[in-house]
Structure 1
Amino acid sequence: MQYFPLFADLKGRAVLLVGAGEVATRKADSLLQAGADIRVVARELAPAFLDWQNEGRIQWLAREFQPEHLQDVFLVVSATGDAEVDSQVFKAAQARHLLCNTVDDPQRCSFITPAVIDRSPIQVAISSSGTSPVLIRHWRQRIEALLPQHTGTLANIAGRWRARVQEKLGTVRERRHFWETLFASRFDALVAQGDIAAAEAELARQLDGQAARQGEVVVVHADPDDPGLLTLHALRALQAADLVLYEARVSEPVRQQIRKDAERSCLAPALAPHDQFDGTGSQHVARVATRLRDEARQGKRVVWLRCAPQAPSDDSTCAQILARAHVPLRIIPGVPVSGPDSRSDGSRHRQPAPAATLPIPVSLQAVPTTMSPVRRLRVATPQHLHRLYRRKHRHDTTLRHFQASQNRKI
């Protein structure tokens, strides 16, 4: 990251703008909208600057720049188009430890201004670090079309109710779940229609009826190295999680897709010896599933980020433990590697994974599940595989691989 993104409060702060042409006019307009006290140095003023001067919104200090003009200034913007003058302004600002932006000259910038989508008080900024302004304009237009006009009104209402929500809901997790549910409800449609009174009544109704949220577990199978192979469902799960348990092989680019304020925990792989197999998968998977269960019982949305592909019996183990505790479970299949061959562009050949199928033992068939009865009967249970494994004395392969091969034969 070449630049640190931030939003500056310029209300009542002095900003020196060197130049008063067409480009400087656009800069001045944005600075005035932010409430800045603009001081201008320019040989002559464009018509817009003359209007602002007559309205008392800017100060015209001088025609030629002098280092003394930087006295008591918060920010500096140079937009003269004259390389010599811009260099002089930048050097003088650097000597006084002031942030300076030189228009169309990234080498003489200690800060840059991004393209902005304004839905005040919501603002979305996007930047290419000064490398491709045209590309940024392209993406700004696309994001502009995606962001509804009433987004700012939503934020204003949320701001008015924030203190009452904090008083009603004691934890950060409860408040976040409340706001996420609210913004996805008819409250959003009421605001879009301009019916603010009805929208606030809906907010109050949902706040009064807010109940303790039930936790859930989501198992996400993903390529450990390429975040581009994460499915849309996987990304949504990672962004909504309160806690993410991930395996050691998961790379940093994939982990960066997790919501920034979510708890994270790395799981060290530890497979149990064959003689410790208890009919519910490996001890490691059972331990992880038990932790998933305990965390979800606290009302958390827990994600287990796994490296695809994995043995189907692992998901079965997790399903059994969670089903006994009546903890909701979702399994999101990944895009596994279908073979070692590589394409000419260097990427590996991958095919979409089939929907997850979980073997459920007879004792748990009363638990609600999306698996069809026919498929449930066709899939071997872990206990059955264990007996078959011991009967065949297949010591040349691991139990996990044997389970996977048997399920593939069904």
Structure 2
Amino acid sequence: MNYLPIFAYLYHRPVLVIGGGIVAKRKIEQLYRAGAYIKIVASQICNEIEELIELYQIEWISTKFDPIQLDNVFLVIAATNDAILNENIYKEANIRFKLVNVVDDKFNCNFIFPAIIDRSPVLIAISSSGTSPILVRILREKLEALLPKNISEIALIAGKWRNKVKKYFFSLSDRRRFWERIFNGPCINQIIKGNIKKAKLILHNELNIRPNYSGKIILVGTGPGDSNLLTLRALQVMQLADVVLYDNLVSKEVLELVRRDAEFIFVGKKFGCHIFSQKDINTILIKLALQGKYVVRLKGGDPFIFGRGGEEIQAAKEAGVPFQVVPGITAAIGATVYAGIPLTHRDYAHGVTFITGHDHLENITDCVSLILKKQTLIIYMGITKATKISNLLVSKGCIKSTPIAIISKGTRQDQKVLIGTLEKLGCLASCVSTPALIVIGEVVNLHSKLTWFNSEVKYQHPKSCIINLS
């Protein structure tokens, strides 16, 4: 995030505008709508600005810029066609720690104007950090079409009722849940239809309802890493969370989508390094839920595929805590699709088996017959024991040249796909970082023909680094 989006309160605050042309005029109109006290410096002004000076309380203070003019203003806008002057204004304003914008000159700005959807008091600002104004304009048009026309009425009514709601609901959490109920219920539908009296009646009745805000635990599968693979339900739940517990497999871009003021607790576990045991995690989940909190447990992939989700739900059930589960795309499905490797194929594999590679390694030999019978074998968490897995399978009859793939950080921008044979599994595993998935079977041969994620790089899609070591 290159820019911090903020909304400045400019009512009766002095703002200096340097420039007297049409561009300056547009900025002056924006500032006036925000209630700013506007001062103009310009050698000459256009007719449109002359009209604004007559209509509004705008002061033309000088025909020449002097750095001393910056001392008693809140922010500065330079809208001249003199590049040297604009650069000087920027430098002088920066020295005085003033917010300054040189119009259409990103490198001489310490703040920029976003595109604005004005449904006051609701304001939506959109920015591309100065990279693509046309894209921002198109996004604004799309958002304008999606927003209810009377969203301003909704916000105004909510504002008038805010203090009254505080008297009924003392805790911040209870108030938040009340408004979530209102904004997702029939009250909003009545406002949209123009039935304001009926909407206010619903609001009043809702104040006297005391729903059971008992805590609950919701397990959410976040998929292999690409936030675009989250389900709609997962996004909804993440926006309602009071507390979020997450681990190493949950990507940063997924965490960015969680409600901003939720409490975050990291409970990550790595091979050989457990800050929290599974028992500890179960205890934390239950303790928080019994406090009446909406507890969201984010898990990479799907909670019920090697995610110990079943254990956490069992603990919740035994403690009498309500729970839900939101499925996610498991790593085996997401990562292999992004690598162009179908798990089943009429000519190569008639079935697929998922196993882990760190527990009961001797059981992996049971999979030898599957590999020999045109089955695909997926091994989760097998990187640290890749050499042992390779040796065991070969010793039990698997062909050394059996195709294998290792997919590291599948579906993410830094995804890597290593292609080789079973005898080279240990060597390839030493070249990747976790999380990583091992794929064994003839379907791996389709990778070179069906890979699509890597080919999207030229169109500015996330990267896939393909390394063929076969």
Q: Who is 1:191 aligned against?
A: 191
**Amino acid corresponding to residue 322 of structure 2 in structure 1:** P
Q: Using a 3 Å threshold, how does the CA distance of structure 1 residues 342 and 55 change in structure 2: closer, same or farther?
A: same
1:337 paired residue among 322, 331, 334:
331
Could you give the per-residue CA deviations for residues 160-195 of structure 1, whole angstroms, max 9, x where no partner exists? 221221121121111111000011111102222333
How far, CA to CA, are the matches of 1:181 and 1:151 in structure 2? 17
Cα deviation, residue 269, structure 1: 3.8
Q: Who is 2:252 aligned against?
A: 252
Cα deviation, residue 120, structure 1: 1.1
Identity score, percent: 37
How far, CA to CA, are the matches of 1:26 and 1:219 in structure 2? 50
Gaps of 5+ in 1: 272-282, 353-393, 406-410
Cα deviation, residue 50, structure 1: 1.6
Q: Using a 3 Å threshold, how does the CA distance of structure 1 residues 13 and 232 change in structure 2: closer, same or farther?
A: same
Cα contact 2:224–2:335 (8 A) shared by 1 = no
Cα contact 1:246–1:267 (8 A) shared by 2 = yes
Q: Who is 1:111 aligned against?
A: 111
Residue 322 (structure 2) pairs with residue 328 (structure 1): yes
Cα contact 1:341–1:348 (8 A) shared by 2 = yes
2:294 paired residue among 288, 301, 314:
301
1:348 paired residue among 339, 351, 358:
339
**Amino acid corresponding to residue 396 of structure 1 in structure 2:** E
Q: Who is 1:100 aligned against?
A: 100
Q: Who is 2:13 aligned against?
A: 13
**Amino acid corresponding to residue 330 of structure 1 in structure 2:** Q
Instruction: Please list, as runs of the form range in 1=range in 2, the aligned pairs for 1:224-303 lying within 5 A after superposition.
Output: 224-269=224-269, 285=278, 288-303=281-296
Cα contact 1:338–1:349 (8 A) shared by 2 = no
Cα deviation, residue 246, structure 1: 1.3
- In the alignment of these two chains, the number of paired residues is 347
Residue 362 (structure 2) pairs with residue 396 (structure 1): yes
Instruction: Please list, as runs of the form range in 1=range in 2, the aligned pairs for 1:199-214 lying within 5 A after superposition.
Output: 199-214=199-214
Q: Using a 3 Å threshold, how does the CA distance of structure 1 residues 96 and 293 change in structure 2: closer, same or farther?
A: closer
Other structure's SS at 2:329 match: coil
Cα deviation, residue 125, structure 1: 1.0
How far, CA to CA, are the matches of 2:149 and 2:14 in structure 1? 31
How far, CA to CA, are the matches of 1:46 and 1:189 in structure 2? 47
Cα contact 2:15–2:39 (8 A) shared by 1 = yes
Could you give the per-residue CA deviations for residues 127-165 of structure 1, whole angstroms, max 9, x where no partner exists? 112121111111111122222222222222222221221
**Amino acid corresponding to residue 334 of structure 1 in structure 2:** G
How far, CA to CA, are the matches of 1:109 and 1:313 in structure 2? 48
How far, CA to CA, are the matches of 1:293 and 1:64 in structure 2? 68
Of residues 39-48 and 198-207 in structure 1, the stretch that sits farther from structure 2 once superposed is 39-48
Q: Who is 2:130 aligned against?
A: 130
Other structure's SS at 2:261 match: coil
**Amino acid corresponding to residue 131 of structure 1 in structure 2:** T
Of residues 299-308 and 323-332 in structure 1, the stretch that sits farther from structure 2 once superposed is 323-332
Other structure's SS at 2:6 match: coil
Q: Using a 3 Å threshold, how does the CA distance of structure 1 residues 214 and 339 change in structure 2: closer, same or farther?
A: closer
Cα deviation, residue 330, structure 1: 2.0
Q: Using a 3 Å threshold, how does the CA distance of structure 1 residues 28 and 285 change in structure 2: closer, same or farther?
A: same
Cα contact 1:337–1:349 (8 A) shared by 2 = no
Q: Who is 1:38 aligned against?
A: 38
How far, CA to CA, are the matches of 2:315 and 2:285 in structure 1? 9
Other structure's SS at 2:266 match: strand
Cα contact 1:337–1:348 (8 A) shared by 2 = no
Q: Using a 3 Å threshold, how does the CA distance of structure 1 residues 64 and 268 change in structure 2: closer, same or farther?
A: closer
How far, CA to CA, are the matches of 1:341 and 1:186 in structure 2? 42
Cα contact 1:248–1:269 (8 A) shared by 2 = yes
How far, CA to CA, are the matches of 1:96 and 1:34 in structure 2? 23
How far, CA to CA, are the matches of 2:266 and 2:165 in structure 1? 33
Cα contact 2:238–2:259 (8 A) shared by 1 = yes
Cα contact 1:223–1:307 (8 A) shared by 2 = yes
Q: Using a 3 Å threshold, how does the CA distance of structure 1 residues 341 and 229 change in structure 2: closer, same or farther?
A: closer
Cα contact 2:215–2:322 (8 A) shared by 1 = yes
How far, CA to CA, are the matches of 2:315 and 2:6 in structure 1? 45
Other structure's SS at 1:155 match: helix
How far, CA to CA, are the matches of 2:158 and 2:325 in structure 1? 33
Cα deviation, residue 123, structure 1: 1.1
Could you give the per-residue CA deviations for residues 298-317 of structure 1, whole angstroms, max 9, x where no partner exists? 32221111122544794444
Q: Using a 3 Å threshold, how does the CA distance of structure 1 residues 210 and 76 change in structure 2: closer, same or farther?
A: same
Of residues 28-37 and 129-138 in structure 1, the stretch that sits farther from structure 2 once superposed is 129-138
Other structure's SS at 2:170 match: coil
How far, CA to CA, are the matches of 1:52 and 1:316 in structure 2? 68
Cα deviation, residue 226, structure 1: 2.5
Residue 172 (structure 2) pairs with residue 179 (structure 1): no
Other structure's SS at 1:217 match: strand
**Amino acid corresponding to residue 333 of structure 1 in structure 2:** P
Q: Who is 1:69 aligned against?
A: 69
Gaps of 5+ in 2: 344-359, 368-377, 379-470
Q: Who is 2:416 aligned against?
A: none
Q: Using a 3 Å threshold, how does the CA distance of structure 1 residues 118 and 246 change in structure 2: closer, same or farther?
A: same
Could you give the per-residue CA deviations for residues 274-295 of structure 1, whole angstroms, max 9, x where no partner exists? xxxxxxxxx9556544543443
Cα contact 2:299–2:307 (8 A) shared by 1 = no
Could you give the per-residue CA deviations for residues 84-143 of structure 1, whole angstroms, max 9, x where no partner exists? 222232233233332210000011112111111112112111111212111111111112
Q: Who is 1:223 aligned against?
A: 223
Cα deviation, residue 341, structure 1: 7.6
Cα deviation, residue 334, structure 1: 1.1
Q: CA RMSD in A?
A: 3.1
Other structure's SS at 1:182 match: helix
Could you give the per-residue CA deviations for residues 243-300 of structure 1, whole angstroms, max 9, x where no partner exists? 11112332333222221211222224499xxxxxxxxxxx955654454344333322
**Amino acid corresponding to residue 74 of structure 2 in structure 1:** F
